[in-house]
């Protein structure tokens, strides 16, 4: 990132590039992957497709939680507030107000972000660990308020009828495509955000808030924007959960376990990188497919693994992979290329 200074003064013999061979490969492979994923429902069985929706939800949650903690420096254990809000917004919009269910998804995301504005003013009065517990309390308030509302089923929850127009197979495939679009939009937004000037400001903010503030980064506004984007992301994840499971229950969508999962994915993959949460989400999803039936023992295993990663491999799997040479799958850094030298690494 220090190479940024030379961006303007770069002469014809040296240039600054955001791309590395690995990030070029990574990005093109990503494009191919998206096309392949879109064709998947024609190729494999529906049970797998159904499980893939879960993976997409996890990808969205991991990416947005990472944005919050890894780039915004805010450890939240209350993002389930927006998962629940997104799910209940979808139910309200699609079933109670008759809004088209696909249109309801972006609206639910916007609702989540809007609600996050006043919440952020409360939560931001706390920092560090107390911020974490504060967000948890707020999520609990969301849950306790939701169960007071009989229109959405109170504590028992509510079933969704908006998707009942589709036959079962098509419904799962449509759910899958919608989730694919959502994951591409959300993860893509995270990449673009981190790549932007704003992303640079965020990185500065995370590394040294005081220095960032004196360099003209508006600390509060930047953190708030990250918080809103993460809330919108969690809201989208909530809508996808609602669409795929067809039932929304307060004890499910507002479960603090979502936060545990988000933290696990990001920690395992590598906090503060774009690649890390994606790797973490895939690993977590595979573990879940294989081991979730073991219930508590599985969760104990996740907890131990997570703790060990924080203690001994703080940069996660991606940190271990990219330690020697810098490997980026996304073109987000800046690299100076000098004509007479081999590639300079940051």
Partner 1 sequence: MSIVNAVIQGILLGGLYALFAAGLSLMFGVMRLVNLAHGAFAVLAAYGALLIVRTGALNPIAALLIIVPAMAVLGFVVQRFILQRTLGTSPLPALLVTFGLSIIIENTLLLTVTADQQRLNLGSFDTAAIALPGGIRIGAFPLAVFVFALVVLALLSLVLSRTQYGRLVRAVSDDPGTVQLNGADPKLIYGFAAAIAFGLVAVAGVASGVQTSFSPSSGSLFLIFAFEAVIIGGLGSLWGTMLGAVVLGIAQTVGAAIAPAQQILIGHLVFLVFLAFLPGGITRQKALR
The residues of the shown chain that bind partner 1, judged by CB under 8 A, are 69, 73, 75, 77, 121-122, 125-126, 128-130, 132-134, 136-138, 140-141, 144-145, 256, 259-260, 263, 267, 271, 295-297, 299-300, 302-304, 306-307, 310-311, 314
Q: In the bound complex, what is the minimum distance in angstroms from residue 132's beta carbon to partner 1?
A: 5
Between 288 and 337, CB nearer to partner 1: 288
Between 44 and 130, CB nearer to partner 1: 130
φ/ψ of residue 335, rounded to 5: -130, 135
Q: In the bound complex, what is the minimum distance in angstroms from residue 271's beta carbon to partner 1?
A: 7
Between 175 and 250, CB nearer to partner 1: 250
φ/ψ of residue 140, rounded to 5: -65, -40
Between 73 and 153, CB nearer to partner 1: 73
Residue 189: other Cβ atoms inside 10 A: 16
- The 3-state DSSP class for residue 59 equals helix
| Neighbouring-strand partners of residue 15 | 337
**Cα distance between residue 223 and residue 44, in whole Å:** 42
66-76 burial, b if ≥16 CB within 10 A, otherwise e?
bbbbbbbbbbb
In the block, residue with structure tokens 């127009």:
165
Q: In the bound complex, what is the minimum distance in angstroms from residue 129's beta carbon to partner 1?
A: 2
Sign of the alpha-carbon torsion through 153, 85, 260, 56: positive
DSSP structural state of residue 340: T
Closest CA to 336 of 15, 19, 22, 21: 15
Q: In the bound complex, what is the minimum distance in angstroms from residue 254's beta carbon to partner 1?
A: 12
H or E element in which residue 70 lies? none
Q: In the bound complex, what is the minimum distance in angstroms from residue 319's beta carbon to partner 1?
A: 13
Q: In the bound complex, what is the minimum distance in angstroms from residue 278's beta carbon to partner 1?
A: 19
Between 104 and 274, CB nearer to partner 1: 274
Between 96 and 145, CB nearer to partner 1: 145
């Amino acid at each position: 990132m220090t190479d940024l200074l030379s961006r303007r003064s770069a002469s014809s013999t040296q240039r600054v590039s955001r791309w590395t061979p690995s990030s070029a490969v990574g990005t093109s492979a990503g494009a191919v992957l998206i096309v392949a994923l879109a064709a998947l429902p024609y190729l494999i069985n529906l049970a797998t497709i159904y499980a893939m929706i879960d993976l997409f939800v996890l990808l969205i949650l991991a990416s947005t939680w990472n944005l919050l903690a890894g780039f915004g420096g805010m450890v939240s254990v209350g993002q389930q507030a927006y998962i629940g809000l997104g799910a209940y917004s979808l139910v309200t919009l699609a079933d109670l107000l008759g809004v088209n269910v696909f249109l309801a998804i972006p609206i639910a995301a916007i609702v989540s972000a809007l609600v996050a504005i006043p919440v952020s003013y409360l939560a931001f009065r706390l920092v560090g660990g107390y911020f974490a517990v504060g967000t948890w309390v707020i999520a609990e308030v969301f849950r306790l308020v939701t169960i007071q509302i009989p229109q959405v089923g109170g504590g028992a929850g509510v079933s969704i009828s908006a998707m009942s127009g589709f036959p079962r197979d098509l419904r799962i495939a449509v759910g899958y495509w919608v989730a694919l679009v959502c994951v591409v939009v959300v993860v893509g937004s995270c990449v673009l955000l981190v790549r932007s000037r704003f992303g640079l400001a965020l990185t500065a903010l995370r590394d040294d808030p005081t220095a960032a503030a004196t360099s003209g980064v508006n600390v509060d506004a930047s953190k708030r924007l990250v918080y809103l984007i993460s809330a919108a992301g969690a809201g989208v994840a909530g809508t996808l959960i609602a669409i795929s499971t067809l039932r929304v229950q307060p004890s499910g969508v507002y479960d603090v376990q979502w936060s545990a999962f988000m933290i696990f994915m990001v920690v395992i993959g590598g906090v503060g990188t774009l690649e890390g949460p994606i790797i973490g989400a895939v690993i977590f999803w595979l573990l879940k497919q294989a081991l979730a039936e073991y219930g508590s023992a599985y969760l104990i295993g996740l907890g131990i693994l997570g703790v060990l990663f924080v203690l001994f491999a703080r940069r996660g799997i991606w940190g271990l992979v990219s330690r020697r040479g810098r490997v980026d799958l996304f073109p987000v850094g800046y690299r100076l290329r000098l004509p007479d030298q081999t590639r300079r690494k940051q």
